[in-house]
Amino acid sequence: MKLHLFTQQSISLKPRDKMAYSNSGSYTTGNSTKSEAQICLKFPPKVSSPGLMALWSDKGQNNVKLGKLMEYSGPRLQIQMVVTFVLTQAIHSVLKHLRLPMFISQILAGMILGPMVFKGKSSLITSSDQSVAVLGTVGAIGYMFFLFLSGVKMDVGMTFRSGKKVICIGVLTVVVPLMSCLITAKSLSQESQFFTNKRVFLAVTYSATSFPVIHCLLSELKLLNSELGRLGLSAALIGEIVALFLLTICQWVIDGLENGWKVVVSNFGFFTVYFVIVVFWFRPVMKWMVRKTPEGGQIKNSYLYIVIGAFLVSHKLAELLKVYIVFAPFLVGLAVPDGPPLGSALVEKLEPIVEGLFMPLFVTTCGMRIDFSYLKNYGSFAEDQAISAVVTNFVKFGVSFLLPFLWNIPIRDSLAFAFIMLNKGIVEMAAYSFMNDTLVISQDMFAFVTIIVILIASIVPILVKTLYDPSSKHVRYLKKSIMDCKLNDELRIIGCIHVPANVNSIIDILNASCPTRQSPIALSVLHLIKLSGRATPLFIAHEKQSKSLSHNSYSENVVLAFNRFERDNWGAVSVKSFTAVSPPNLMYEDICNLVMDQFTSFLILPFHRRRHVDGSVESEDQTVRRLNFNILQKPPCSVGILVEGQRHVKCINSRDHIHDQYPLANSSTYTIAMIFMGGKDDWEALALAKRMSREKSVKLTVIQFKAGDGFQDDDGDRMMDKQLLRNVKENTSITYIEKEVKDGPETLTYLRSIVDDYKLFIVGRRYKREDPQTVGLHEWSEFEDIGIIGELLSSPDFGGKHSVLIVRHQ
């Protein structure tokens, strides 16, 4: 093993920075100071170990063997990663009860593994400078991927669609704090040359609004598609663009004043070349890739490799063209067409490893840089900048609160919005760490700014969650159900669409609901699309704009199908179409908001499982199942889960609309059975069935299952049951059957005997109700969202040619 000694010179710093490392690693000041250090490196470097068995076979103590293992960078990095993740999860298992984000746990883990605890000692993580460098390099690569994905998920076109108020908020929440920061720092500074790149960079960092940080906060709090969340994302996107623009312009102006305007012209030319290459060459290439991908299909892996490869070399190109290296991956990401197929594929493939592996390591390495012992002897510059940072954050909070409050947003919502815009996180921590590594700021200054980041990132989620609860407005919503609607009143219905096959089933149910001019139906169609490849949720009202989603023609086909249904029932049905693009776990909020806005009485949700005509499972979506169950737990109105009958293949396209072998309109008689056993869910189901029975082509049969052995239900419910059934018996257009059953098996036998006589069954959900009629059946239940009777009727053992509508009251 040869040892090589060489002299390494540090970067020559500009006179205004006046900082460099001395041989001992401490800071020195002076003009263009250079430091020399004798560093011993081993060549070739040890990467892969010979294995645990080979090391353990050597003679020696176990701690010596472990030391030999740590000499190899491969296993050392793996051990460092394991220790980092275990410590982070252990800390977060405690802090999550205080509602602190994972970011704080990762920072604290880094501080524990860093010099604050192991001051002057060698730990498993910081065994050598080389070991720290390897871990830091892996984290830095992860941060580059994070910036790239942040650009991919951004929709720059959103800035042009934002209203004047949102643009005003986004601009003023950056510009006003920036001006206050510069004024405060100028009043505190005693230096003659004040405006330097360092001070401007710090001022912009204090006052900027980071879109990725705001997005992470809103995502953790599940507020992305709330009204305040949409406002915050729009304002943050505009603020991000304004901050980057101001930073670039200020740097060029300062370079012009210090080094001459020829340098500025040169830098501007290099930046223009980089911008032209990315936007006018690379972006058209990616658009060509999208056009080559079949509609609804997956993009080729070779295209993905080309895009990822271009991102990996972008930083080198930026370095050659003297572009700020952090801008390189972000600009390349912005050039990628957002959404499917390219943007969503990149996010789906890269985000798990970036968010799950690289970024936690990067945040932890940022925490390892923190050492609060430097605060014992802080300098005047650090003190001035700390005061400026505090003043800037107070001004930013005030501006972010006053602007929405002046536009009649409630005070609690305005306060929550101000805290959202104030939030700090990974982007600010990365900026300060980069400045610390490049000696732009000193260790005491770095300690000050990290304290501010940690405090703000800790208290903001707690305060926002306390001040703003979007579900509180659901409590104020007037309860409304089908029973509350008179037969001649307008029935307001929302139909949710996940896949093309849902369209025909909902249209069949609507046709059976007997819409007439005297008793119309106001239908709101909500097409739910999973948010993929973009950061900002969308909610589009198609009646208010001519264009629908450019990246998903299926939304256009849904609109065409229901517009045709409206024309076929002109005067009896009015249709409004909406599209919601949001994360699956937040679709509940979109549905509830639409229910309140449209004063809806009945919500139709498709069942998560579909079957082929032979009874085999065609598709099963657990995301839809979780969404349905969440809505059933807190229903904003009466809810119906629609289990579609087994049908032949349906097709949907922009020209032929939707075709089905068994539409209601082609049937001379549409037979419906309503299974009644009592209770609020059955009352609501009976109200819907009676409304359908007014259509001459609809034949309704109400089947009451009576418990044997003199079983008595709740007195109040029993009185209401008798009243409703008395009305049914008096209605000559409804067939009433009373069937006494002793237990579940007898109920099962009777249902099996009548299942082929009806095309639609309407039943109440009757969740967690123990009745003699269903004794012995609950232990076989698989789907709690449709109840035991609904599950029996939906079983392929019953043939499955009929549809089932399971009703849950509000």
Residue 367 in contact with residue 165, Cβ under 8 Å?
A: no
pLDDT range class, residue 653, cuts 50, 70, 90: very low
Tokens 């249709």, residue located: 575
Tokens 């044997």, residue located: 708
Q: What is the mean pLDDT of residues 559-577?
A: 87
Alpha-helical regions (H) of 372-442? 380-406, 411-422, 426-437
pLDDT range class, residue 11, cuts 50, 70, 90: very low
pLDDT tens digit sequence for 754-800:
888 888 899 988 777 777 777 777 777 778 888 888 888 888 777 66
User: ∠653-655-659 over CA atoms, to 5°?
Assistant: 60
CA–CA gap between residue 260 and residue 616 (Å, rounded)? 75
| pLDDT for position 244 | 85
pLDDT range class, residue 665, cuts 50, 70, 90: very low
| In the predicted structure, residue 298 carries a pLDDT above the cut 80 | yes
pLDDT tens digit sequence for 121-153:
555 555 555 666 778 888 888 899 998 998 888
43 or 112: which carries more pLDDT confidence?
A: 112
| pLDDT for position 419 | 95
Residues 6+ apart with CB under 8 A from 770: 778
Q: What is the mean pLDDT of residues 512-527?
A: 84
Q: How does strand 602-606 pair with strand 20-21?
A: unpaired
pLDDT range class, residue 9, cuts 50, 70, 90: very low
pLDDT tens digit sequence for 202-220:
888 899 888 999 999 998 8
Q: Whole-model pTM?
A: 0.81
Q: Locate the DSSP E strands across 585-697.
A: 602-606, 609-611, 617-620, 638-643, 651-653, 657-659, 670-676
Mean pLDDT for the chain overall? 79
Average the pLDDT over each of 1-15, 416-430, 599-613, 660-674 and give the range with the smallest value: 1-15
CA distances from 690 to 308, 479, 699, 786, 810 (A): 60, 21, 10, 21, 19
Phi then psi for 707, rounded to 5 degrees? Answer: -75, 140
Q: How does strand 573-582 pair with strand 521-530?
A: parallel
| pLDDT for position 423 | 92
| In the predicted structure, residue 189 carries a pLDDT above the cut 80 | no
Cα torsion 710, 712, 718, 719: sign: positive
| In the predicted structure, residue 598 carries a pLDDT above the cut 50 | yes
CA–CA gap between residue 369 and residue 140 (Å, rounded)? 14
pLDDT tens digit sequence for 234-268:
899 898 888 888 888 877 777 777 777 787 788 78
CA distances from 541 to 5, 43, 576, 740 (A): 69, 65, 8, 50
For the chain, the residue count is 810
